[in-house]
Amino acid sequence: MFGLPERLAQLGSWVSMWSPNVRVVTKHSFDASGAERLRLLGIEVVHDEVIGLVHQDDRLVAVSTESGAEIPCDAAWIATRLKPTSDLAASLCDVDDAGFVKVDEHGRTSRPGVFAIGNATNPIAHLAHAAAAGTEVGPWVTMHLL
């Protein structure tokens, strides 16, 4: 696992629910809370920088690092910045610093008649979250239309 330092401890913790063999590869230091979280979960931190992926027979077998090491693995997670895939929301209503729609508890945006749910408002929402938000916001949309 490698990528944005500010997301690595959280993502490492999350991935550790699926595998007991998680390593974080980064040159960056963690704050006390992030370092303690990784330590308690038994997640090794390798102080290096990933520069490539090593494949064999079309399968990932390692990541290569700046120091010349190859760290064996069969999966790689990259902690990236969460951002919307389009600027549509920003063209319609107010968005936060990351570009996601600002809504009230009923899914209403800053523009009358425009409602938002799911990944438009929450970058880590899954389909089930979006469906649940739709059932909560739907009646407010209906009332607006009536």
pLDDT at 75: 93
CB 25 within 8 A of CB 49: yes
Distance, CA of 21 to CA of 43 (rounded, Å): 8
- The whole-number pLDDT of residue 104 equals 96
Determine the Cα–Cα distance for residues 146 and 126; give it in Å rounded to an integer.
30
12-65 pLDDT, tens digit per residue, is 999 999 998 999 999 999 999 999 999 999 999 999 999 999 999 999 999 999
DSSP string, 27-55: SSPPPHHHHHHHHHTT-EEE-S-EEEEEE
Mean of pLDDT over the chain: 92
**Domains, the chain, ranges and CATH?**
2-79 (3.50.50.60), 88-145 (no CATH)
